Chains A and B, each alone.
Chain A
Amino acid sequence: MSLQKFILKRILASVPVLFGVSVVTFALMHITPGDIVDQLVAANPNVPSHEAARLRREFGLDQPVWVQYLDWMQGVLTGDFGEVYSSSRDVSAVVLARLPETIALGLFGWVFAILIAIPGGIYAAVNKDQLGDTVSRFVALSGISIPNFWLGLMLMAVFAVQLDWFPTLDPQTSLLSPSMLWWLILPGVTIGTAAAANMMRIMRTSMAEELNKEYVTAARAKGLPERTVILKHVLRNSLISVTTVAAFLTASIVAGSVVVETVFGWPGLGRELIDAVHLREINLILAITLFTGFFIVLANLLADIVYALLDPRIRDEY
């Protein structure tokens, strides 16, 4: 199968998933007991019943469910997610304002994870079953076992509060200024730790497997320096297995952003979601949930395409 055909097929396969994501999100809003009018009536018991009925008609809540879904989807597709009750701001404006903060944090986490995991994984695989490997395996296992909120609290307590190396307040500069790095380091390291540890374990396993293959023996036999064998031949093949989990790791970073942003007071989508949950801002919760789902589907799509680029065999398996 040609690459173009594979990409096209893969994109088409994502469409029903995106539809499913929107249905699940919409359903979540509607299985919860009580609609928005019930909440308004509960807040103000003086509302007469004909007024409640009029409000239901106005919000379209008297329509069949599928009509409500279509109405909602129409809004979503034109970027209209309704408004935030408490501040009367547009939900989409709030989401767009918070999004760059979360992307910056997630990217930093990814870069940190790659910088730690690739060299760490190579080192462990090359020194398999020796002391260095055992130590790095233990470190990686700790990395996936440590709760990120606790890691964040401890890093903050030691490096920001006690040693005063990093700021403790909310970011005070614009996202693109270089001094932003000081605000990014602690939350970025916290969010990237689990991904780094996971990636390192995968890197070690796949690299150790590759090292046993015949082409490695052949490359060594023809007299290539070990460095070239590892970095030019083995590394390239083991990186393929890392791309297969890239989407999974992205999902774990997205989930991590909810917790880590709350710990560090980072003004991103994750913290916004927690605030929305505590204030019961349904429109905002739904918009962020839907956005997260779309983003993960997109990440999966990209990961599969990169995988197919690196390993042409996969195109035919789809």
Chain B
Amino acid sequence: MSTERGRIQISGFDTDGIEDQDSLDAWSESEADELESRWRKIVSSIVRDRLALGGFAVVAVMSLAALLSQPISVGGFTIQPFSIVPYDPTQTGVGARYAAPSLSHPMGTDRLGRDLFSRVVTGGRYSISIGLIVTALAATFGVIYGSISGYFGGRVDEVLMRILDVVFAFPGLVLALILVALFGGGFWPLVGAFALVGWATYARIIRGEILKVKQNEYVMAAKALGARDRSVIFRHVIPNAIAPVIVQATLSIGTVVIGVAALGFLGLGFDPGTPEWGTILDAESDTLATGAGGTWDWWATVFPGLMIFLFVMSMNIIGDAVNDALDAQVDDIGGGG
């Protein structure tokens, strides 16, 4: 039990320390209210932020369009029957080769006469869904790992943090690239590679937060009342330390999207011809070499990259807004308390 600040002494149930505090029922109610109003505040502050709303709209439209672009079937069952893009993204020869953007092909066509608009809209599927799944997996594992490390401290913390240092010694993209190179590409291998690379950041963030939260009286009170470690961690420590993790998760979706596209661009991850943003760019990058003053079929490289940029930018704007909202809340608590 840490008593370095000398605020409460819990040695053999010191009653003075407990009488100083409110009754437990009142405490948990007011805490619950505060938690709820905190979320309401965050949401309302994001809604007030026009730029963040715009970012959210872009993310929503792009994700929805990618989802509805082509039917999805799992094991023979069609679970998503819509097909909103004008052409099949893998169908060749729906237009001339390298046709410039026009009404029938809003983003032009590629070297095999495939419709770029259909390809680019469908292309969001890969990066966006991998970004979401990876973030969920990495955040869950990272939060558990970092919580254990921060909560127990001492030897456990020392060992777990050294392991983390090893993961941090490899730049994320390089490690993901090696994993994909060794174990092969495809949707789930990419998810696995980026999750293996991504969890460490969450672990480090939550550990730092928990070291701070652990100092609070309510954690000591819960422990003194005989609550088990698991319930102290999940009910009291994590909910109060989670804010920076949420910010990191929002920002990391964009990072993973760029990472997946980067591997696609490097010719790893997906089969050539897959309508994935990075893979499209890889296939069309030779359109640049036309020589000075020559015609440049710019649409083939501009639009796929622009889509990645637009999505990641919107995601980062949302992340910034969430960060501001959470910071403001922290300031409020400081002022009120």
Contacts and interface: CB of A to CB of B under 8 A. Distances in A.
Interface of A: 16-17, 20-21, 24, 28, 31-32, 141-142, 144-150, 153-154, 156-157, 161-164, 168, 251-252, 254-255, 258-259, 262-263, 273-274, 277-278, 285, 289, 292-294, 296-297, 300
Interface in B151-170: 162-163, 165-166, 168-170
A263 B301 CA distance: 13
B193 to A, nearest CB: 12
Given A149-B262, A254-B174, 19 more contacts: A20-B165, A21-B166, A24-B166, A28-B178, A28-B179, A32-B182, A32-B183, A141-B313, A149-B278, A150-B309, A153-B301, A153-B305, A161-B296, A251-B171, A252-B171, A255-B174, A277-B177, A277-B181, A285-B181
Given A168-B289, A277-B181, A17 B305 contact: no
Interface of B: 162-163, 165-166, 168-174, 177-179, 181-183, 254, 258, 261-262, 265-268, 278, 281, 285, 288-294, 296, 298, 301-302, 304-305, 308-309, 312-313, 315-317, 320
Contacts of B293: 162
Given A28-B178, A144-B316, A292 B254 contact: no
A277 B181 CA distance: 6
9 contacts: A16-B162, A147-B261, A147-B308, A147-B312, A150-B281, A252-B171, A259-B262, A263-B285, A277-B181
B313 A145 contact: yes
A262 B296 contact: no
B313 A296 contact: no
Contacts of A32: 182-183
A299 B313 CA distance: 29
B169 A142 contact: no
A294 B258 CA distance: 25
A278 B267 contact: yes
A17 B169 contact: yes
B119 to A, nearest CB: 16
Contacts of A20: 162-163, 165-166, 169
A275 to B, nearest CB: 11
A161 B162 contact: no
A17 B293 CA distance: 53
Nearest to A259: B262
Given A161-B296, A251-B171, A28 B163 contact: no
B175 to A, nearest CB: 8
Candidate in A28, A148, A149, A154 with the most chain B CB atoms within 10 angstroms: A149
